[in-house]
Amino acid sequence: MSKGFRTRYFEKVLGLAMILVLNGPAHVAAWGMDAHRVIGMIADRYLTPGVQNKIQQDFNITSLADVANWADRVRYKRSQGRWHYANVREGKRNYVRERDCPLGRCVVEKIRYFSSVLAGAASSREGRIESLKYLVHFVGDIHQPLHLGNKKDRGGNKIRVVFQGEETNLHALWDSDLVPVADGEDLLQYARRLIRRILPEDRLLWSRSGAVDWANESRKQALDLSYDPQVKITGVLTKGYVRKARETIELRLTQAGVRLAHLLNTLLE
């Protein structure tokens, strides 16, 4: 292979790679892997002993954190990328199935579907195990505000921002970059720190809701905070934006963990 040919070849490969980066799937990842594991750890804390034992004995799952990222690992092989989010029509503040997910291929409807499979006495063991693993992941996904983002900007993926000197996009920022794990703190310590903040009245209030409520909460947070007009225009993150975003992310991680546990306790008791 001549030097000139090799140069043209690698330039072509690089160009294709850049096209994939810029025009790839609307939601390249869900919450980052760490965030999903933290949600699983929080949920583990609030499972009833009976349900925890059932998950271990019947499904051979020791911790929900261990399967929290399974749905991401199979998403492309099974062509299930659309299941992880729900685009809402531009300018609308609430999720409406008939308008936003008529075919049922979005995170809201998949939570409903896999809940019915997991609870179904006639469901196969394999189907119930997979349903449990999907639910652990999707309950996390629906609590990420930009998983209820706008189709036009692909849930914030097309909005470029700079964070700590590095260029990224708004969706990735909320997925992983802003998850406030402290220096020297492992994920279990972080999850325990979040659990210590949860009040009994919080758990009770958060548990009185379902998938559509969670989606509408995320949609409101996306419109009121994530899609800050100045951030969209300039790509510059103010200290106030970062602080509020991190507070919101910790709230959503905590709510997701509590609600996941409540959902599984309800379905498996």
For position 26, what pLDDT does the model report?
A: 36
Judge whether 140 lies within some domain. Answer: yes
H or E element: which one contains 160? strand 160-163
Judge whether 10 lies within some domain. Answer: no
Number of residues that make up the chain:
269
Judge whether 193 lies within some domain. Answer: yes
Judge whether 39 lies within some domain. Answer: yes
Which of 110, 23, 39, 90 is CA-nearest to residue 258?
39
**In CATH, what number is assigned to the domain containing residue 179?**
1.10.575.10
For position 2, what pLDDT does the model report?
A: 46
pTM value is: 0.87
In angstroms, rounded to a whole number, what is the distance separating the alpha carbons of residues 97 and 88?
10
For position 183, what pLDDT does the model report?
A: 82
For position 6, what pLDDT does the model report?
A: 41
CB burial of residue 119 (10 Å; 0-12, 13-18, 19+): middle
- Which residues are registered as beta bridge partners of 150? 88
CB burial of residue 125 (10 Å; 0-12, 13-18, 19+): exposed
Judge whether 37 lies within some domain. Answer: yes
Judge whether 86 lies within some domain. Answer: yes
Judge whether 20 lies within some domain. Answer: no
Q: How many domains in the chain?
A: 1
Domain, as residue range, for 106: 29-268
**Secondary structure letter of residue 224 according to DSSP:** I
Low pLDDT (below 70) residues in the chain:
1-30
Judge whether 13 lies within some domain. Answer: no
Amino acid at 197: R
Query: Which residues 6+ apart lie within 8 Å of 51 measured at CB?
Result: 264, 265, 268, 269
Query: Which residues 6+ apart lie within 8 Å of 89 measured at CB?
Result: 99, 100, 151
H or E element: which one contains 14? helix 3-23
In angstroms, rounded to a whole number, what is the distance separating the alpha carbons of residues 203 and 81?
31
Structure tokens at 197: 């903040």
Structure tokens at 231: 């951030």
